[in-house]
Structure 1
C-alpha cells in the first residue's frame, strides 16, 4: 500500500463542547444493513477514511502565475534550469574572452606554423594582437568562437553531471568525500567531457589558426577528405592527460578553499569569485605545458605523434619558454571568464531559489484558504 492510499485517522475539536455539561448527543445514524434498518449510536466521534490531497490541487493558478511571473521559473525541472544556467554562463564567458583566446592559440602554434611557412619563430602578445586586426579585421578576434560556444554547452553539461556522478561513486562508507576522492571525481569528469566534445575542439582550433576557412563545416569536410576520421582525435592523449589534473586540481582547490572560509562568507558571490580565480590559477600554472603540446599535435602536418615526441621537440625548437607561450593571454582571460561564469551562474541559482520560494508561498496560501473554507463549511 502506498502513502497516497493509506487511511488517516483525523481528530477534530468540536467547537463549544463542554464535556462536563453536555446535552444529549446527536444520534449518529448510518445504514449498515441491506434492509435499510438504522442502527442507533451514542458515541461522539466518527471514524472516516480520507485520501491524501494531491499537492497539485493547491498549485498556483494561471492568474496567480501571471501576477507572480517569477514563480513560473519553479515549473522548470531544477536540473534543466541549472543546465541552462551553466550553458548561458559558459557561452557568455567564452564570447567575451574570445579575442584573448584567439591570441593565445596563435602564440601556442606559431612556432610550428613558422617552421612550415618560413616565418620568424616567435611573436609577442602585442604583435599577435596587431596581426589579427591587420589581416582579418575586427571579426578576426572572434574567428573560431562559434564552434567554441557550441562545444561549451555540451561540455559544461557533461562535466557537471559527470562530476556529480563520480562524486557519489568515490564517496567513502561514511558518505564523506576525501581529497583523493574529490581529485579522482574531477579527473574523471574532465576526461569524460573532453572525450565527448573533442572533435569540436579540433575544429575550433583549425578554424582559428589555419587560413582559408570560413565555416566549421568546411573545416570538417576537408579534414575528413584529406586526413580521415582519426584527425578529429589528434592530440586526444595529451588532452586527456592535461585536462584530468587541471579539472581535478581546479575543483579540489575550489572546494577545499571554499570550505575553509568562515560560514558567513561561503555563500557570497565575491568569495566564490576569488576562490575560483585562485583554483584556476594554480591549475593553469601546473597544466599549461600539456595544453601547448595538445594544440601543436592538433595542427595539420604536425611532426609529433606522441607526447614523448612533442615535449622534447617544442623545447628543442623554442626552449622551455615555448611550453608556456600564450600563457599571458590565457591568464588574462581567466579573470573575466571566471567572473562572468560565476556571476551568471550564481544569479540564475538565486533566481531559481527565489522562484521556488515564491511558488511554495502561493501554494501554502492556497492550502490555507482551502482549509479555512472547509472549516467554515463544517467539513
Structure 2
C-alpha cells in the first residue's frame, strides 16, 4: 500500500506533464479524456487507495472549474497543484519546532484549537494512521501521501467530524453551538457550515413534523386517555386532514435561522469572557459559554416557541397562520403570554447540553481508545450512533422540564384558568399521573430521533458539496 501511495504522490508532485498524464490515464478508466466521480471511485479503489466518505464528490466539485461534473487533464493538474500547496501550508503550521516532522504533542496542541482535548495515547493512534514507516513521526512525504486524494488539508480535518456539532438536528434547540477556527472565520467557511446546518435542520424537522406534533399533543393532553402513536396520528388526520400533521412546523423551521445566528454571535461573545488573549476553551468553559449562548438565543426567539406549541395543539380553523396566532395571543393574553414556560425551558438547557456533551465525549474517547488503531476516522455509522445516543440521553434528563414548558405554553388555550406555575404544574402532574406522567409523549419523541439525525446528516453533506466546503 505504501509503495502505491509513494508512486502516486511522486507522480502527482513531479512538475512535468508526463507524470501528471500517467496518473490521469490510470484514473481515466473509459479513456475519454475526462474523470468523473464514478471513475475516480473505481480508479482509487483499483489502486488500493481508501478515501473518506464523499471524498470523490468533493474532489470533483473543488477542481471542476467549468461545472460539467468532470475533471479534464488541466482541471485535474490544477487541483493537485492547489491541493499540495494547502497541504504544505498545513504541514508547516503544525510543525511547531520546524524539524520537518509532526509528533504526537504537536497533534494534541493543534486539536486544542478546536476545543478538543485528547490524551497522548489518542494522539499516537491518530499519528499511526499516517505513519507509514513506523517512526511515530510524520514527515512531509508521509503527510502528502496520506492526503493526496483526500480533500482534507490538515490534521484538524482528520478529527473535525469528532467535533460535537449541531448538524445532527433532532428538533430541539438546546445543543452547544458549533465552534469555528480562525481560519474558517477568515475564509467564510463558517457561514456556509451554518447555512448547511440550517437547511439540514429544516428538512429534518419537516420530515419528522407529524411525530413532533403528536409529542406536543400527548404532552398537553397527557391525562386524557391513553393515546398511543397510531391512534394519535389517526385522530389528528380525522380532525384536520393530512395537512394537520404538519401544523406548527412552519414556525419550527422559520425560527432556525434567527436562533442559529443569535447563538453563534452570543457564543463568540461569551468565549471572549472566559478566555484570555489567545487562550483556548476547555470542555467546562465551552459548556458554560455554550449554555449561556443557548439561553440568549432562546430568549430572543422564545415567542416563536410559544406560537409553535399553540399552533400544534390548535383545532382546525382556530388560527389562520402564524401571524393570526400571534395577534390572538397578544389581544387575549397580553405580551407576557409569549414567555409562558420560559423558566423551565431555560433550566432544561443545562441538563440537556451538559449530559449530551459529556456522553458524546465519553463515547468518542471510548471508540478512539479501543478501535482507532489504524485510523482516527470513525465512519458515518459510528458518528451517527454517538450523536444519537448522546442526544437521547440529554433528552431523557431534560424531558420533564420540556413537558412542563409545553403545558405552560398551551394551558391558556387548552386548559383555561387557573394558570399554574412551574411548581404547581409539576405537583399536579405527579399527583394525577404519577412520575411517568412527566414523560408523556416521549415515545414519538424517541421514534423521530433516528430519522431526524439521518436526514439532517445526509442533507448537511449534500449542502456542503454544493457550497464547496
Calculate the TM-score normalised by the size of structure 2.
0.55
Which runs of structure 2 are paired with 1:72-83 in the superposition (5 Å)? Answer: 77-83=188-194
C-alpha displacement at 1:165, in angstroms?
Answer: 4.8
2:307 aligned with 1:196 = no
Deviation track 1:211-265 (CA, whole Å, cap 9, x = no partner) reads: 2223111111111111001100011011100123212322343345335533634
2:66 aligned with 1:67 = yes
Deviation track 1:292-330 (CA, whole Å, cap 9, x = no partner) reads: 000111111364443211211111122212110000000
C-alpha displacement at 1:183, in angstroms?
Answer: 2.6
Cα distance in 2 between the residues matched to 1:127 and 1:241: 32
Residue of structure 2 equivalent to 1:348? 463
Find the residue that maps to 1:270 and give its secondary structure: helix
Q: May I ask how many residue pairs the two structures share in their alignment?
A: 282
Find the residue that maps to 1:140 and give its secondary structure: helix
Residue of structure 1 equivalent to 2:390? 279
Max Rg structure: 1
2:315 aligned with 1:215 = no
Indicate if the aligned counterparts of 1:296 and 1:302 stay in contact, CA closer than 8 A.
no
Calculate the TM-score normalised by the size of structure 1.
0.67
Residue of structure 2 equivalent to 1:323? 438
Find the residue that maps to 1:261 and give its secondary structure: helix
| Greater alpha carbon shift after TM alignment, 147-156 vs 180-189 | 180-189
C-alpha displacement at 1:163, in angstroms?
Answer: 4.0
2:402 aligned with 1:291 = yes
Deviation track 1:8-66 (CA, whole Å, cap 9, x = no partner) reads: xxxxxxxxxxxxxxxxxxxxxxxxxxxxxxxxxxxxxxxxxxxxxxxxxxxxxxxx986
Distance 1:179 1:66, change over 3 A: closer
2:233 aligned with 1:129 = yes
Distance 1:170 1:331, change over 3 A: farther
Distance 1:185 1:252, change over 3 A: farther
C-alpha displacement at 1:182, in angstroms?
Answer: 3.1
Cα RMSD, aligned residues only: 2.9
Distance 1:101 1:166, change over 3 A: same
Distance 1:184 1:157, change over 3 A: same
Cα distance in 1 between the residues matched to 2:268 and 2:382: 22
Distance 1:136 1:98, change over 3 A: same
Any unmatched runs of 5+ in structure 2? Answer: 1-62, 70-78, 80-183
Indicate if the aligned counterparts of 1:183 and 1:252 stay in contact, CA closer than 8 A.
no
Cα distance in 2 between the residues matched to 1:285 and 1:93: 21
2:446 aligned with 1:334 = no
Cα distance in 1 between the residues matched to 2:377 and 2:358: 16
Cα distance in 2 between the residues matched to 1:293 and 1:331: 18
Residue of structure 2 equivalent to 1:48? none
Indicate if the aligned counterparts of 1:159 and 1:192 stay in contact, CA closer than 8 A.
yes
Which runs of structure 2 are paired with 1:218-257 in the superposition (5 Å)? Answer: 218-257=324-363
Deviation track 1:84-143 (CA, whole Å, cap 9, x = no partner) reads: 1111011011100100001001100004xx7xxxxx444222221110111111111101
| Greater alpha carbon shift after TM alignment, 205-214 vs 258-267 | 258-267
Cα distance in 2 between the residues matched to 1:171 and 1:255: 21
Indicate if the aligned counterparts of 1:163 and 1:185 stay in contact, CA closer than 8 A.
yes
Indicate if the aligned counterparts of 1:145 and 1:204 stay in contact, CA closer than 8 A.
yes
C-alpha displacement at 1:286, in angstroms?
Answer: 0.7
C-alpha displacement at 1:344, in angstroms?
Answer: 2.6
C-alpha displacement at 1:200, in angstroms?
Answer: 0.5
2:244 aligned with 1:140 = yes
Deviation track 1:175-216 (CA, whole Å, cap 9, x = no partner) reads: 454342233133212212211111011111111102222311
Distance 1:269 1:242, change over 3 A: same
Cα distance in 2 between the residues matched to 1:246 and 1:271: 21
- The equivalent position to 2:424 in structure 1, one of 302, 309, 331, is 309
Distance 1:152 1:129, change over 3 A: same
Any unmatched runs of 5+ in structure 1? Answer: 1-63, 115-119, 357-379
Flag the structure with more relative contact order, 1 or 2, with Cα contacts below 8 A and sequence separation at least 6: 1
